Structure 1
Amino acid sequence: MAVGAFRKATGPQCGTPFRQERRQGRPFTYCSPECKASAGRRNKKPEGTGGSPFDDDLQAVGEDFHQLASNLLAAIHNGASPYDQLWLVARAQRSLQDVTALNIARGRARGQTWDQLGVPFRLSGERLRKTWPMSKITRRLDAYRANRAARQAGQPAASTAVPSQRRPPVEEADTDSDTATRFAAQTPQQQLAGALSFLQRRTGKPLRQTAAETGISPSHLSRLLTGTRRPSWPVTKNLVAACGGSLHEVRPLWENAHRPTGPSTPTQPAPTRAGDPGHARAQLRDALRGLYLAADRPDLWRIRAATADALTISHITHALTSPHLLDWPATSRLVFALGGRPADLRPLWHTATRHTPMTPPAPPSTTHHFMADAFG
């Protein structure tokens, strides 16, 4: 073979650089026979199974992005300056890049081709491979791990992409701001578990007794109340009945927890968009009361504080009990303050407010004395 008949390459399985021989036919793809054997074992795993070395990092990056999105929405609600909001946008974009890199790495580890992974981006496999080589993904992952470890240790991040001397005070002041009083954002499955757990605790019954009345084992009930398992609708109905709760409040939480996700899955079912406005108003009120239940039916003054006093006690009560609706900015603030996702309810709100007058929020008032018990 002629001298210099080699080229640099990177192993798709391990990301290790190696010298690839130029020859006729298909070139060697892996850096060693051991690396090829390891890739073969991983490629035999069915789609969707665990075992990827990137799974833990992907979950951490997803949680970071969720927090950044929540911070951005809080900044928008609180009228933060464009400069402060753009800092959050820049961080969210970098977080999305981390998600992209990790999923490409996971896809390659599962045996997917570059052409398959390029379809969502409308890129050819060759273009995607040049944009995201494994060496770049490895460097990005190493930098993310280092920055995350530094943040957890209370040290400044190692990245120089954001000049620290000009970092806005949005996140540094979070612990003292009004946005810190909002209720923790939860996944739909956690919200359902929180609502069921509140109902069960309110009864004062032992867990074993509630399980017997529901027709399931105590261990199964425990998993449902902690959010590690999702209940079927018959089990949910029995549990709510045993706890004296309202199915109208729990049903939206159950549907949201069981709704499939994917690029072709709408945020809300089609009937809620094109349905009757009166029915949609009842659904929206039930959804708001479900979020209120999932937050453990807090004192209304806590909810007002979570909206940075943008909503009055009377308007919070109005939103949770009246068939008439607040305008969308006020509704969005209330959903966000209760730990929900405004985007999930916006299509339903549009249907509910078709040809319907809305009640705008009024200045803060302390003349109302509604208690949480008013909502059952």
Structure 2
Amino acid sequence: MKILCSNCKSKFFRPKTSGRPPKYCGADCRTAAYRARQKTVLSYAHKHDGDVTRIAKSVSARATAALQHSQLPLPARPLELLKEALRLERDVNDLKAVAVRQASEYGAPWTDIGHTLSMSASAARAKYSDEQVAKILRWRAERGSAPGLRLPRPRPDRPTSAPNSVKGESTLPSPALPGDPAYQLTTALSHLHRASGRTQRWLAAEVGISPSLLSLILLGKRHPKWKDVKAIAELCNADPADLRPLWEKAQGIPPVALPGPEDFLQAAASLKSALRGMCIAAGSPTPDEICFQHLTLSPRRVARALVSERPERDLADWTFVASLATALRGHPDDVRPLWQRMTVASALMSPPGAGPDADSPTARPAHTSAGTRAPHEAPAEGTGRPRRPNILRASRTRRGNQDTDALLRRLEILEVIRSANMPVGLTTLSHSSGIPPRYTSEVLAWLRDHRFIITGRDGGHAPGPVLNAAAEGRDVVQEFLEHLSLKTLGAIYIGTYTDGDIHVSHEVAQPGIPTVDQHVDFRESAHASALGKANLAQLGREARLDHLSRYRPRKLTGHTITDPDSLFRAFDLSPLQYDLKEYSDRNVCAASPLVLPGRTAAIAVAVPATDRRHRLRRAAATIKDHSTTMALSLTLALPTAHPNPTQHAAYRP
């Protein structure tokens, strides 16, 4: 019987009748076939080598980009870094798939591959088969050079409702991240659901929708109808009117900005509802927690604006409204049309020539500038063109009037106590300063806690250690800063913005605490130092641009921000400004604004860069504390004689 040779294709006789029949006619054909098989295996093993190299380089580039995004300014860092991390994750998954195929092609047994992947050999072989990896590479080619999420399958367009229609469900993009129009509505509904303690199934049954649709609404993947939002609010013991502005924003419905004379109360209620909706979206923080986010706010005024039935007096101040919206993690532009509507309605209601109420915040004399002018305010009459912005005036009026008024009230009471030759009672102080007795009592308690005054057993108030020290000519500011330096374990600086420049008036560091090496003048590095940033943040946009035009931002370290728009976004994000190795690689700093009438000032603390994680956080919390900044501002505003450093300290650690 003849057999066909698998190599040379010639026929040969079977040498043995027993056993398995041979495939080759001789040893030469067997060797030739083996070499041919090896050549094929080696050629196939190189199939994914190029893919592995290419994707590994992409992973390296993505990791470098993520490192760069982690060093971006604070306002842009979270989202950009998150997006880059998602791209990096997709690249790593693709690299793992082609690496598994390469290992298999080079002869690694599937048992070892499965053990490395923490799965069975059969599961690994099925998940990373040649067909599956080819599909992954095809998807990667469709995504292009900038890999992102997998492209969805094309679906037919759904009919959409008109922009101003209350009924119907819109098909706007899914609000997955902050910044989307429906993000605040999503967070508000999610907070109400969690606070109610009800299950999604119960809430969906009461509203009349499916549990899956309610889940998508709470996740921000579907935009609800107004009747559903209203029902959810009522079931969660909330006012549906507070969520109406958030729902209209999600639907793209602009607020009405042209009221009639009878629309004032309705306009004020709409503005209040919009702010209350922001409060719900922020997690319903207390007034104290809201004020912690913005130093120009006070708990009493925030409570009046959000809770009282007549918040018109507080909401008439645009600076306060903008600060409150910012503290509630919203944007002032979202409530600006509502504020304009209320203001115009108020003007239409007032008789011609009537001035504002004497007790209204808008009745107080205040300078305005391009940086602080209310949105509806026009240029001064009698001029054919807009008034040129006054840079110094803009710097003085950037902050609200509230903390300045609080400081002036304290100064008035201290002046009455200082000028009296005997202890002064509460009634006399209230009458002399023009402050109601209830507020006078609160101010006196604060002054007593901070050792500005003392109170006798008969209820009379007399000068305390700090007031006496200032009258004796001691440098109470220096003593206060020494106490802060010891408390924060950092170097303390006070800087002011005067005549268009940053001036450092005080520099204090306890023994053993390193100071900042001023290798570049603070006047030329306001864009990099925390002290300069905190002062520039209090200026209007024109004043900021004027300063940066005279002192061009330049790179001092690898972390220095030189783009004006990036700087301004960081300025407006929070009153607290940071220098994270932007001025010097040796130090990190934080700075907070001070309240001084007619002046722009800030206090900064600097610690070594090696201790940034724990010491800077505690030091920043200390200088940001409202009570600390108010006490320091009051100390700076006290009239003093020539300092006498030989006297003992008025402040004790």
Which category of TM-score, normalised to the shorter sequence, fits these structures?
0.3 to 0.5
Structure 1 length normalisation: TM-score? 0.46
Greater RCO (CA < 8 Å, at least 6 residues apart):
1
Which structure has more strand as a fraction of its residues? 2
Which structure has more helix as a fraction of its residues? 1
Structure 2 length normalisation: TM-score? 0.27
